[in-house]
Each structure stands twice: as structure tokens, then as C-alpha cells.
């Protein structure tokens, strides 16, 4: 598939899965919260917020090797939990780490691996053969997740989630975090957007859309139609909607079939904006090689309510966070330092609609 053909770009959705026991995980696994796990020989320093100097909190770890590359690849996203920094782009940092395929993740004892024997690392890369689930398991599934005692004890309905396979667990990264300042940690499972969705989830999303339309006084026609229809803009213009309302409505409409998604992945694909962006917007070039950056993935509003810790009063709010990474994924065999990528942050004007 040509990377330029973004209209046909495959989109993968991430969902919160089972909790990670004792925060023991591997760097080749995608997860929420916890402490960052990095490939061997890679040095990752936990960044500090340039606005308030507070150490940033680990939000997500996305294992995302690229097809045809000789490197393992993982992107860590950090954010400042200080309320005065919420929604500010400077308070978010994405760090990309890579390792040659010959460096395989170490394993821990078999007794630990049995805790999540049906969970595994997921390839997010374009056209990858293994998407973390068997072909016959893709579809409208539902599971209730039991949370560990250190996390909020509420069952979470993870519609559309797919369990990952054959977990590889490793000892904690030498890059130590204090667990007192970390979000509860969960695996991330993945599904193809085209094969995801349930009628109950859609009904819930449509109800939220109707509430939003009523609240904003929007008279939108044909709520069940596809946002990508050719006559879409004519309908919006007919109602003289503000640009902000148009973009936000399209955002909600796009995710309405599966509102529990916490992450959208589409290497060199099209991001889903929550509010208007400046004409001609382009992410800054890679700070390491000077090359252009492409969109890779974005964090979604449903993730906000899942970022909790009972040890401290950690909270974080945002609308959507778009991560742009080096198009060449520049990395030499001898590199040892994580590369900072670009985060584009948009605040959520109606956070209550995603809870």
C-alpha cells in the first residue's frame, strides 16, 4: 500500500485490556501507564515539564515496529499532571526508542507469564501480518476486566477489544520510576477499525451526539450517514455551522461506532482532529535528521477516565494528542539515546461526552 494513499490507509484502534500485575512488563508490549520499558542498550531519561519543572508522568507505551525494518521500535508518551499545564502542548513529550531485531526481550519466570498467557505484543505497522488476534476472533467481542487492588475497583466493559497473544514479560526497566507517581498500568489490545463496533456502542454514541446537537442548537440532518460522503460539506454549509462545530461533530461521528477506543494508529495516515487547525499546518522536522515527520497515532478522549492512581491524586485531562514521528524513523545501529518526536495537543470542549 502506498503511503500517499491516505484515503485507504488502514486504521487500527487500541483499547484498554487486562491490568498488568506488579507492573512487570516488556518493552515489546503496548500498555497504558506504569513505568516506561525500553529496549536493551537504550537510554531513556524521564523528561521534565518545561513549564513547571515537574517530572512528566508516563501515559502510554506503544510497541510499533515498521514493516521491512531491522529494528524493534517503541514510542513512549509522557505528560505533566499539573492542572496548570493541562492542554498545553509543551507539557507533552513523545520519545522513540529502537533496537536491532537480534535483541530479543528477556523473559521472567513462567509463573509470571501465566498471569497473562493469552496476551502478547502487537504489531501496529502498516500491512503487518500479525495484528495480535486470530482471524476468527476479530469482531464484536465483550469482556469484563477485573482490576488489581491498587486501581479503581470498577469493572470496565471493553467492547470491541481483542486479547493479545503469548505474552513475553520481562523485569522492570532499569529506568526507575516511583510507582507512587505512576498511572495504573493496563495492556492495550488492538482491532482493525473496519471490523470493530457493536450496536450497543453505536446507540450510546448516537445518544451522545443527539445530546450535543441539542445543547449546541445544531440542526444536523441524516445522523446515520457516513461523514465521508460527497455532499457532507454542503449539508454543513446549509446550516451555517461554525467551523469548530463542524470539526468536532465530524470527530464524534467518526468514532461513534466504537467510542471506547483509546488510541488510533495509522502510520503516515490521516489524523482525526477535534478542532480546526491552521491552514498549511505541518509538524516540525525531525530534531535528529532534519527529515519530515508523519502522523503515526493519537490518544483519544476515552483514555482520560482510565488514567487514575489510588496511591496519589494523579489526574490528566486532554482532548486528543496526535503524535508525529520521523518519516524515516532515523536510527543507526549504534544509537543509544531515545529520539524526541512531536506531540500536537487539542483540548476537549466537551469532555463529559466521553465518560
User: What is this structure's pTM?
Assistant: 0.70
> Cell for 291?
527529515
**Contact in structure between 269 and 228 (CB atoms under 8 Å):** no
Alpha-carbon dihedral 81, 87, 89, 91, rounded to 10 degrees:
-10
pLDDT at residue number 128: 42
**64 or 216: which carries more pLDDT confidence?**
64
pLDDT at position 24 is 85
Calculated CA dihedral for residues 277, 193, 131, 64, nearest 10 degrees: 10
pLDDT band (50, 70, 90) for residue 22? confident
Predicted confidence band of residue 280 (pLDDT cuts 50, 70, 90): confident
- What is the per-residue pLDDT across 243-275, written as a single tens digit (0 to 9) for each? 778 888 899 999 988 989 999 999 999 999 999
pLDDT in tens, 30-57: 999 999 999 988 999 999 999 999 999 9
For residue 48, the 8-state DSSP code is: B
The residues, any chain, with a CB within 8 Å of residue 42's CB and separated by 6 or more, are 97, 98, 99, 336, 337, 338
Give mean pLDDT, residues 155-183.
45
Residue 221 confidence class, pLDDT cut points 50, 70, 90: very low
pLDDT per position as a tens digit, 68-90: 899 999 999 999 999 999 989 99
Model pLDDT, residue 348:
78
Instruction: Give the per-residue pLDDT at 307.
Output: 95
| Average pLDDT taken over every residue of the chain | 74
Q: Look at residue 184 and tell me whether its pLDDT is greater than 90.
A: yes
Q: Which residues contact 98 (CB under 8 A, 6 or more apart)?
A: 39, 42, 71, 72, 73, 74, 329, 331, 335
Q: Please compute the mean of the pLDDT values over residues 280-293 and round it to a whole number.
A: 95
Average pLDDT for 306-334? 91
DSSP for residue 135 = G
Task: Taking residues 290-316, report their average pLDDT.
Answer: 92
Q: Where are the domains of the chain?
A: 9-197+261-354, 199-257
Amino acid at each position: 500500500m502506498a503511503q500517499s494513499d491516505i484515503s485507504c490507509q488502514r486504521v487500527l484502534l487500541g483499547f484498554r485490556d487486562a491490568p498488568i500485575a506488579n507492573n512487570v512488563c516488556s518493552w515489546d508490549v503496548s500498555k497504558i501507564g506504569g513505568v516506561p520499558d525500553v529496549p536493551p542498550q537504550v537510554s531513556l531519561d524521564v523528561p521534565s515539564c518545561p513549564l513547571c519543572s515537574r517530572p512528566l508522568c508516563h501515559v502510554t507505551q506503544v510497541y510499533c515496529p515498521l514493516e521491512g525494518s531491522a529494528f524493534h521500535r517503541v514510542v513512549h508518551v509522557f505528560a505533566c499532571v499539573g492542572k496548570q499545564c493541562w492542554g498545553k502542548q509543551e507539557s507533552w513529550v513523545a520519545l522513540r526508542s529502537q533496537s536491532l531485531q537480534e535483541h530479543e526481550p528477556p523473559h521472567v519466570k513462567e509463573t509470571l507469564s501465566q498471569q497473562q498467557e493469552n496476551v502478547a505484543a502487537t504489531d501496529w505497522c502498516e500491512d503487518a501480518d500479525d495484528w495480535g488476534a486470530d482471524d476468527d476472533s476479530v469482531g464484536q467481542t465483550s469482556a469484563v476486566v477485573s482490576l488489581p487492588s491498587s486501581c479503581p475497583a470498577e469493572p470496565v466493559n471493553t467492547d470491541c477489544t481483542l486479547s493479545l497473544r503469548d505474552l513475553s514479560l520481562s523485569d522492570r526497566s532499569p529506568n526507575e520510576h516511583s510507582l507512587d507517581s505512576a498511572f495504573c498500568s493496563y495492556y492495550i489490545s488492538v482491532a482493525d477499525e473496519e471490523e470493530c463496533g457493536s450496536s450497543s456502542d453505536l446507540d450510546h454514541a448516537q445518544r451522545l451526539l443527539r445530546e450535543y446537537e441539542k445543547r449546541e442548537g445544531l440542526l444536523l440532518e441524516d445522523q446515520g450517514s457516513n461523514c465521508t460522503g460527497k455532499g457532507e460539506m454542503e449539508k454543513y454549509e446549509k446550516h451555517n455551522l461554525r467551523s469548530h462545530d463542524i470539526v468536532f461533530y465530524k470527530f464524534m461521528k467518526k468514532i461513534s461506532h466504537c467510542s471506547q477506543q483509546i488510541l488510533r494508529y495509522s502510520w503516515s495516515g490521516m489524523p482525526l482532529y477535534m478542532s480546526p487547525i491552521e491552514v498549511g499546518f505541518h509538524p516540525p522536522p525531525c530534531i535528529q535528521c532534519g527529515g519530515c515527520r508523519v502522523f503515526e497515532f493519537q490518544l483519544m478522549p476515552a483514555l482520560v477516565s482510565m488514567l487514575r492512581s489510588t496511591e496519589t491524586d494523579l489526574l490528566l485531562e486532554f482532548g486528543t494528542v496526535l503524535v508525529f514521528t520521523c518519516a524515516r524513523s532515523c536510527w543507526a545501529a549504534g544509537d543509544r539515546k531515545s529520539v524526541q518526536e512531536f506531540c500536537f495537543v487539542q483540548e476537549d470542549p466537551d469532555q463529559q461526552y466521553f465518560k
